[in-house]
């Protein structure tokens, strides 16, 4: 075997050895899919039907009636905020709940009385009685009404007193509370629609406070964490 042939064989062997020792290529990275929090998507038809059935069953139990005696006045898929879901007795909400979720708003009726339910994810929440259709919520009077406010209502009332006192340049202690009561506003205007403004037609839990200073009364409406002086 000639010298050139031996060199050629040796070179080929070296190339094969280096190829076998090369580091294996890393497998392509798998893209991780992002998923939305559970219960934040638009309810399916099956879910909306289930929400209605659960709401009817719950109200029938509360009123000790047969489910057949409860009628569904309206049912709509709407955008809900955490404030919309903080109804009395709702319990603790999911801390990861986003600023808005797609849920369902259900109005049930028994006789002349109407009741509001809201559903999202796998929960249906009783949000209380609604005023008769076409009526304007009227607050109850007296100190007992103030004492009956929940913790959030007490905070909003104090905020209203502080705000009015600041406007008038007086001590909050001189602001009298004439009336205070939780109410369900018919939309997000909180009962004080402004010209040229658009409001979501969603029943909004809130409060109405009638404050007084030196004989003049001031009407504050609250809801969704906001406070409005109706003038």
- Alpha-carbon distance of 220 to 128, in angstroms, equals 21
Residue 191: phi and psi, rounded to 5, are 80, 5
Q: What is d(CA 87, CA 113) in angstroms, rounded to the nearest whole number?
A: 18
Q: How confident is the chain (231 residues) per 10-residue block, as mean pLDDT?
A: 53 52 42 38 82 94 95 85 75 73 88 88 85 52 64 87 88 84 90 89 90 92 90 83
Asked whether 88 and 150 are in contact (CB, 8 A), the reply is: yes
Whole-number Å distance between alpha carbons of 116 and 106: 6
pTM beyond 0.85: the answer is no
């Amino acid at each position: 075997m000639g010298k050139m042939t031996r060199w050629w064989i040796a070179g080929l062997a070296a190339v094969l050895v280096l190829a076998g020792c090369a580091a294996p290529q890393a497998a392509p990275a798998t893209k991780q899919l992002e998923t939305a929090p559970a219960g934040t998507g638009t309810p399916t038809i099956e879910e909306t039907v289930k929400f209605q059935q659960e709401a009817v069953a719950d109200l029938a139990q509360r009123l000790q009636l047969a489910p057949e005696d409860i009628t569904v006045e309206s049912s709509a898929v709407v955008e809900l905020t955490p404030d919309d879901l903080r109804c009395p007795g709702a319990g603790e909400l999911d801390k990861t709940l986003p600023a808005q979720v797609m849920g369902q708003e259900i109005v049930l009726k028994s006789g002349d009385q109407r009741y509001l339910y809201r559903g999202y994810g796998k929960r249906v929440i009783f949000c209380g009685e609604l005023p008769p259709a076409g009526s304007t919520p009227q607050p109850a009077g007296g100190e007992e009404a103030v004492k009956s406010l929940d913790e959030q209502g007490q905070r909003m009332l104090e905020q209203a007193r502080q705000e009015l006192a600041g406007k008038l340049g007086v001590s909050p202690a001189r602001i009298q509370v004439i009336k205070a009561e939780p109410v369900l506003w018919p939309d997000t205007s909180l009962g004080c629609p402004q010209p040229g403004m658009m409001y979501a037609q969603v029943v909004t839990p809130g409060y109405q406070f009638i404050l007084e200073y030196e004989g003049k009364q001031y009407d504050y409406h609250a809801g969704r964490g906001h406070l409005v002086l109706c003038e």
